[in-house]
Structure 1
Amino acid sequence: MIPTGNGLAAAFPPYPLKEKLEGDRDFKVVESADYIAVTSGTRTFPWRVLGIAERDGDLLTNQLVWLLEKPSQLQDTSWIKPGKVSWDWWNANNISGVDFKSGINTQTYKYYIDFAAKYGIPYVILDEGWYKLGNVLDVVPEINMEELTAYAKQKNVGIILWVVWKTLDDQLIPALDQYEKWGVRGIKVDFMQRSDQLVMNFYSKVSREAAKRKMLVDFHGDQKPASMTRTWPNLISAEGVRGLEWSKWSAETDPEHNVTLPFTRMFLGPMDYTPGAMRNASKSSFAPLFAQPMSLGTRCHQLAIYVVYESPLQMLADSPSSYLREPEAMEFLAAVPTEWDETKVLDGRIADYVVVARRNGRDWYIGAMTDWTPRSLNIDLSFLPEGSFTIDAYQDGINADKWASDYKKTSSRVNRGTKMTIKLAPGGGWAARIHP
Structure 2
Amino acid sequence: MKIYISILVMALALVSCNSEEKKVTAITSPNANVKVDFNVNSEGRPFYTVQFKNKTVVDTSYLGFEFKDLPAFHKNFIIKNTSSSSFDETWQMPWGEQLDVVNNYNELKVELQEKTSPERFLNIVFKVYDDGLGFRYEFPKQSRLKGEVYITEEHTEFNLTEDYKTFWIPGDWDIYEHLYNTTKLSEIDALKLANHKNLAQTYIPENAVNTPVTMVGGDGTHLSFHEAALVDYSGMTLKVDTENLNLESHLVGSENRDYKVKRTMPFNTPWRTIQITDNAPDLIESKLIVNLNEPNKLEDVSWFKPMKYTGVWWEMHLGKSSWDYGMTQDMSTWTDGGTSNGTHGANTENVKRFIDFSAKHNIGGVLVEGWNTGWEHWIGFEDREGVFDFVTTYPDYDIDEVVRYGKEKGVDIIMHHETSAATETYTKQQDTAFALMQKYGMHTVKTGYVGKILPKGEYHHGQYMVNHYNNTVEKAAKYQVAINAHEPIKATGLRRTYPNTISREGLRGQEFNAWATDGGNPPEHLPIVAFTRMLSGPIDFTPGIFNIKFDEFKKDNQVNTTIAQQLALYVVIYSPVQMAADLVEHYEANPGPLQFIEDVGVDWETTKVLNGEVGDYVTIARKERGTGNWFIGGITDENSRTIDLTLDFLEENQTYEVRIYKDGEAAHWDKNPLDIVIETVALKKDATLRLKLAEGGGFAMSLKKK
Counterpart AA for 1:369: I
**CA–CA distance in structure 2, aligned partners of residues 89 and 47 of structure 1:** 36
Match in the other structure for 1:152: 406
Is 1:350 the counterpart of 2:350 in the alignment? no
Note the C-alpha offset of 1:168: 2.2
- Give SS of 2:661's match: strand
How far is 1:194 from its partner? 0.9
**In the alignment, which residue of structure 1 is the partner of 2:262?**
38
1: distance between equivalents of 2:547 and 2:304? 32
Cα deviation for residue 223 of structure 1 reads: 2.1
Does 1:392 pair with 2:659? yes
1:63 aligned to 2:287? yes
- Which of 438, 447, 454 is the equivalent residue of 1:180? 438
| Match of residue 679, structure 2, among 403, 410, 417 | 410
The amino acid of 1:79's aligned partner reads W
Of 510, 517, 531, the residue aligned with 1:263 is 531
Superposed, which structure 2 residues align to 1:349-388 within 5 Å? Answer: 349-360=613-624, 361-387=627-653, 388=655
In structure 2, the CA distance between the partners of 1:393 and 1:79, relative to structure 1 (3 Å rule), is same
CA distance in 1, matches of 2:398, 2:417: 17
Q: CA deviation at 1:212?
A: 1.4
- Looking at structure 2, the residues matched to 348 and 366 of structure 1 have their Cα atoms a distance apart, in angstroms, of 13
Q: Distance in 1 between matches of 2:434 and 2:651?
A: 46
Higher strand share: 2
User: CA separation in 2, counterparts of 1:298 and 1:119?
Assistant: 22
Higher mean C-alpha deviation, range 176-185 or range 340-349: 176-185
Q: Which amino acid aligns with 2:480?
A: K
| 1:231 corresponds to which of 468, 472, 497 | 497
Q: Which residue of 1 aligns with 2:363?
A: 121
Give the Cα separation in 1 of the matches to 2:686 and 2:703: 14
The answer as to 2:353 corresponding to 1:111 is yes
Displacement of 1:122 after TM fit?
1.1
Mapping for residues 279-318 of structure 1, pairs under 5 Å: 279-280=547-548, 294-318=558-582
Per the alignment, in what secondary structure is the counterpart of residue 594 of structure 2?
helix
Note the alpha carbon deviations across 1:305-355, whole angstroms, 9 max, x for none. Answer: 001111001111111221122111111101111111111111100111111
Cα distance in 2 for partners of 1:381, 1:111 equals 40
Match of 2:521 among 253, 267, 272: 253
How far, CA to CA, are the matches of 1:221 and 1:288 in structure 2? Answer: 29
Aligned length: 413
Classify the secondary structure of the residue corresponding to 1:341.
strand
Mean alpha-carbon deviation: is it higher for 378-387 or for 340-349? 378-387
Aligned partners of 2:554, 2:537: CA distance in 1, in Å?
A: 29
* Equivalence for 2:35: none
Residue number in structure 1 paired with 2:61: none
Q: Distance in 1 between matches of 2:534 and 2:609?
A: 13
1:2 aligns with 2:242: no
**Cα deviation, residue 236, structure 1:** 1.1
CA distance in structure 2 between the aligned counterparts of 1:64 and 1:158, rounded to whole angstroms: 33
Tell whether the 8 Å contact from 1:304 to 1:369 is kept in structure 2 after alignment. Answer: yes
CA contact (8 A) 1:249 1:288 kept: no
Runs (4+) of structure 1 moved beyond 4 Å? Answer: 286-293
Q: Deviations over 1:257-287 (max 9, x none)?
A: 1111111001101111111100225xxxx98
Following TM superposition, by how much is the alpha carbon of 1:106 offset from its aligned partner in structure 2, in angstroms? 0.7
Aligned partner (choices 235, 241, 252) of residue 13 of structure 1: 252
Deviations 1:347-385 (A, max 9, x none): 100111111111114211111101010111111111212
The higher relative CO (CA closer than 8 Å, separation ≥ 6) is in 1
Q: How far off is 1:101 after superposition?
A: 7.5
Superposed displacement of residue 410, structure 1: 0.4
Please report the RMSD computed on the Cα atoms of aligned residues, expressed in angstroms.
Answer: 2.2
Deviation at 1:129, TM superposition (A): 4.8
State the partner residue of 1:327.
Answer: 591
- Aligned residue number for residue 19 of structure 1: none
Which deviates further from its counterpart, 170-179 or 362-371?
170-179
Q: Is the 8 A contact 2:524 2:636 kept in 1?
A: yes
Supply the AA of the counterpart residue of 1:421: R
Kindly provide the amino acid, as one letter, of the partner of residue 267 in structure 1.
L
Query: Which AA in structure 1 matches 2:683?
Result: V
1:102/1:8 CA distance change after superposition, 3 Å: same
Name 1:215's counterpart in structure 2: 481
Give per-residue Cα distances to partners, 1:121-167, cap 9 Å, x unaligned: 11111123543242222211111111111211222211112212324
Residues in 1 aligned to 2:558 and 2:353: alpha-carbon distance in whole angstroms: 22
Distance 1:160 1:293, change over 3 A: farther
Q: Percent identity?
A: 32
Letter in 2 for 1:380: T
User: Helix, strand or coil for the counterpart of 1:51?
Assistant: strand
More helix by share: 1
The match for 1:74 is 298
Mean alpha-carbon deviation: is it higher for 347-356 or for 204-213? 204-213
For 1:232 and 1:102, locate their aligned partners in 2 and report how far apart those are by CA, in whole Å.
35
Contact 2:647–2:688 under 8 Å retained in 1: yes
The aligned residue for residue 22 of structure 1 is none
SS at match of 2:645: strand
Note the residue ranges of structure 2 that are not aligned, 5 or more in a row.
Answer: 1-237, 322-341, 376-386, 451-458
Match for 2:525: what amino acid? H
Q: Amino acid of the residue matched to residue 667 of structure 2?
A: A
Residue 164 (1) aligns with residue 418 (2) = yes
* 2:77 alignment counterpart: none
Amino acid at match of 2:531: F
Deviates more, 1:271-280 or 1:128-137: 128-137
Give the deviation of 1:424 after TM superposition.
0.7
* Letter aligned with residue 573 of structure 2: Y
- 1:428 is matched by which residue type in structure 2? G
**Runs of at least 5 residues in structure 1 that lack an aligned partner in the other structure:** 17-30
Distance in 2 between residues matched to 1:36 and 1:287, nearest whole Å: 47
CA contact (8 A) 2:371 2:397 kept: no
* Paired residues of 2:514 and 2:520 also in contact (CA < 8 A): no
Alpha-carbon distance in structure 2 between the residues aligned to 1:131 and 1:84: 27
**CA distance 1:76–1:211, shift in 2 (3 Å):** same
C-alpha contact (below 8 Å) 1:91/1:293 kept by paired residues:
no
TM-score by length of 1: 0.89
Distance 1:429 1:113 in 2: 29
TM-score by length of 2: 0.56
Instruction: Please give the alpha-carbon distance, in whole angstroms, between the structure 2 residues aligned to 1:369 and 1:348.
Output: 9
Alpha-carbon offset, residue 290 of structure 1: 5.7
1:241 aligns with 2:489: no
Q: CA deviation at 1:303?
A: 0.4
Partner amino acid for 1:160? Answer: I
Does the CA contact (< 8 Å) of 1:70 and 1:227 recur in 2? Answer: no
Q: For residues 270 and 511 of structure 2, what CA distance do their matches in structure 1 show?
A: 30
Note the alpha carbon deviations across 1:202-237, whole angstroms, 9 max, x for none: 222211221111122100011221142112111111
Q: Return the index of the structure with the highest Cα Rg.
A: 2
DSSP 3-state at the match of 1:273: coil
